[in-house]
């Protein structure tokens, strides 16, 4: 009679194999995550520093702070784009955004240089205020230098400045958006029932001067009335209200349009 095989003892330590595999995979996952978060930080910092240096050396008005805000943080810099504020993988996204915004800034550098040269006196005197934003180059025409209070009639004394501005715009291919802005004090008269009508009328007055007097192509322009919805300063002080009363001439960044950011809106405005 054959001998019955002895029963095998159950292995209670087989779970160690699965556990070891899990720990190995987990370790590999965190190594990959750490490596991806460190990618191209040096390159992002180089791009940021190069653009800031180019702007600070070429312009007398305060552009570098605006550029720093657009570019955000890079390595060793706790800015808006810093990866520490983005979560896992945030550095990679920050680098991509930095590259895109850097391209936006570089595209408008020649326009900034030309503007600084041609309108230097108007910028220093406070007639114009210049800001660089991701959407493009914004030139604010202060109401006190271009319009009488409560009217949409462009002062004749502003025509030399408007001529220089028209020459600058004529040398560029970019679309132009004209935005009218007011302070928060309500207006109500037979011509302007509210600040909405006043802001639109002033933007249209600038349009008529640029296109009617200086023969720019109207197809390139769009007009927007903002009333008091986008103030630059507090409306609680006379100085803040004076700064808010303006018409913004926006030289739209064509790189953003090519990427589809706002392309349909501008296309619809042009077709009207």
Specify the CATH number for 119-271; select among 3.40.50.1010, 1.20.120.160, 3.50.50.60, 3.30.1330.60. Answer: 3.30.1330.60
**pTM to 2 decimal places:** 0.58
Query: In degrees, to the nearest 5, what angle opens at C-alpha 247 toward C-alphas 156 and 167?
Result: 60
> Cα–Cα distances in Å, from 131 out to 92, 105, 108, 165, 196?
28, 11, 12, 15, 23
Q: Which residues contact 39 (CB under 8 A, 6 or more apart)?
A: 91, 92, 95
Residue range(s) of every CATH 3.30.1330.60 domain in the chain:
119-271
The pLDDT tens digits along the chain (272 residues) read: 566 666 666 666 666 777 777 787 777 777 777 766 655 555 555 545 554 554 444 443 334 444 334 434 444 444 444 444 444 444 444 444 444 545 555 556 666 667 777 788 888 888 998 888 888 889 999 999 999 999 999 999 999 999 999 998 998 888 999 999 999 999 999 999 999 999 999 999 999 999 999 999 999 999 999 999 999 999 999 999 999 999 999 999 875 544 444 444 434 433 44
Report yes or no: 183 and 241 within 8 Å, Cβ to Cβ: yes
């Amino acid at each position: 009679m054959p001998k019955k095989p002895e029963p095998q003892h159950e292995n209670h330590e087989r779970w160690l194999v699965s556990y070891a595999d899990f720990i190995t995979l987990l370790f590999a996952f965190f190594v990959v995550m750490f490596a991806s978060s460190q990618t191209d930080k040096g390159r992002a910092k180089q791009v940021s520093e190069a653009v800031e240096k180019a702007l600070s050396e070429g312009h007398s008005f305060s552009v570098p702070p605006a550029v720093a805000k657009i570019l955000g943080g890079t390595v060793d810099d706790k800015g808006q784009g810093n990866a520490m504020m983005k979560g896992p993988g945030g550095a990679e996204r920050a680098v991509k955004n930095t590259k895109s915004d850097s391209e936006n800034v570089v595209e408008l550098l020649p326009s900034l240089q030309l503007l600084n040269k041609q309108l230097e006196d108007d910028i220093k005197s406070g007639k114009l205020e210049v800001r660089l934003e991701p959407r493009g180059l914004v030139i604010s025409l202060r109401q006190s230098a271009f319009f009488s209070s409560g009217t949409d009639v462009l002062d004749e004394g502003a025509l030399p400045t408007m001529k220089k501005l028209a020459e600058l715009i004529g040398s560029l291919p970019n679309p132009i958006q004209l935005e009218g802005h007011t302070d928060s004090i309500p207006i109500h008269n037979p011509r302007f029932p509210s600040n909405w009508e006043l802001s639109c009328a002033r933007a249209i007055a600038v349009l008529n001067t640029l296109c009617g007097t200086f023969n720019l192509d109207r197809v390139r322009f769009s007009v927007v009335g903002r009333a008091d919805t986008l103030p630059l300063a507090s409306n609680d002080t006379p100085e803040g209200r004076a700064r808010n009363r303006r018409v913004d001439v926006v030289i739209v960044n064509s790189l953003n349009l090519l990427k589809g950011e706002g392309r349909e809106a501008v296309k619809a405005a042009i077709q009207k």
